[in-house]
Structure 1
């Protein structure tokens, strides 16, 4: 059984259909990429899984539970955590306060402290900057903070929307390495990314979305060597 599964999912925003019968799955332990141009439906796919948008048809299951019409906070409590595009940190709060907000559903303070220690081991820069205001961090540091905040919630699966957006190439490499480490420590990852080359270096499999439809799927190696993908997303 897949950890996350979409079966024939449609999503509408008013009269506009954003997803058209999408079916995809993510197995436990994988990093799966969703690739595609702007407007392809990638962010809508994550929003549908996290309860921010509800399907008009089809089903979404997480660990066998139907979450198609679920509330976002219940889905987070189930272990499916979404890091949205644009990072969305609280700029006037300190790094530490931003991280603590990630644990708003966790009642056990000992557990929060344990996860905080893990985040600081994975992202030591956040510990160095913990009393600094979030808004004073660089773009790459804010992305690390957004990932760290999500990890405090204790995700079984982490969904990341465009984590490399607006970042310099060296910082993109660092962010992707953090994603790989998070996965190696036991968290499944669904990654939405326009930087296909960076994404396919760390992912196991991928799906390509076009106009709300999945058009190509395969392992990272298959996608890297697919002439259609090379031409459309990787350059010659």
Structure 2
């Protein structure tokens, strides 16, 4: 089943066109990566799927439902969860409080408690830091917290924007392992990542975006082996 699909989506910021007939598809169970230079339209794609940015034309569907004109909270309630660039955790709240806020729209408190336990098991470092203020965590720990908070919402699909930004290579590898674990536990993933090599190693399929439209697509191994990708994103 197709979890997320963009069909000829166009987005404008004032007179500037950010997406030009964007068409992508993410199937249930996949990890799909969006590659491209700054300004290519990757973040706009995630923000449009989240209904933070409105599509001017085209169609967006999630799990078979048209969400082109949906409100952001309706998208979240439907199970499409966005972890934005820059972590955006609440620095003065504790780790536990940050996680609990991920379940803001979840009416079943028992489900929230169960997911908290599962997040602590998957990310034991957060369990150790549960009483610590979010702002005192390292960059890698804050990224883990942002992912953990998203999982409390019970996502059917997780969209991650630049999760490795500013992190040391060893921490990047740990973040990618967490993304693989999240996916293995049944959550579909759409990943925007400047570290193309790290992303493609865990990717089912990838799209290259240039000028607000897709210009290439392929499996992770296909794109890793493509000379154009190597030259543009991986270093010759």
Shorter-chain TM range is over 0.9
**Residue matched to 2:81:** 81
Q: Post-superposition shift, 1:64?
A: 1.0
Task: Tell me, in whole angstroms, the C-alpha distance in 2 between the residues paired with 1:61 and 1:188.
Answer: 15
Q: Aligned to 2:209, what secondary structure does the other structure show?
A: strand
**Residue matched to 1:96:** 96
Q: Aligned to 2:12, what secondary structure does the other structure show?
A: strand
After the TM superposition, which segments of 4 or more aligned residues of structure 1 sit over 2 Å from their partners?
A: none
**Residue matched to 1:169:** 169
> Normalised by the size of structure 2, how large is the TM-score?
0.99
Q: Aligned to 2:70, what secondary structure does the other structure show?
A: coil
Q: CA RMSD in A?
A: 0.5
Q: Post-superposition shift, 1:45?
A: 0.2
Deviations 1:79-110 (A, max 9, x none): 00000000000000000000000000011111
Task: Tell me, in whole angstroms, the C-alpha distance in 2 between the residues paired with 1:135 and 1:64.
Answer: 39
Task: Tell me, in whole angstroms, the C-alpha distance in 2 between the residues paired with 1:218 and 1:120.
Answer: 35
Deviations 1:21-55 (A, max 9, x none): 01010000000000011000000000000010111
Deviations 1:183-212 (A, max 9, x none): 000000000001000000111100000111
> Normalised by the size of structure 1, how large is the TM-score?
0.99
Task: Tell me, in whole angstroms, the C-alpha distance in 2 between the residues paired with 1:13 and 1:66.
Answer: 22
Task: Tell me, in whole angstroms, the C-alpha distance in 2 between the residues paired with 1:64 and 1:233.
Answer: 33
**Residue matched to 1:53:** 53
Deviations 1:106-131 (A, max 9, x none): 11111001100110011000010000
Q: Aligned to 1:3, what secondary structure does the other structure show?
A: strand
Farther-moved stretch of structure 1 (149-158 vs 66-75): 66-75
- Residue 20 in structure 1 maps to residue 24 in structure 2: no
**Residue matched to 1:68:** 68
**Residue matched to 1:226:** 226
Q: Post-superposition shift, 1:213?
A: 1.1
Q: Post-superposition shift, 1:138?
A: 0.2
Deviations 1:166-193 (A, max 9, x none): 0000000000000000000000000000
Q: Aligned to 2:61, what secondary structure does the other structure show?
A: strand
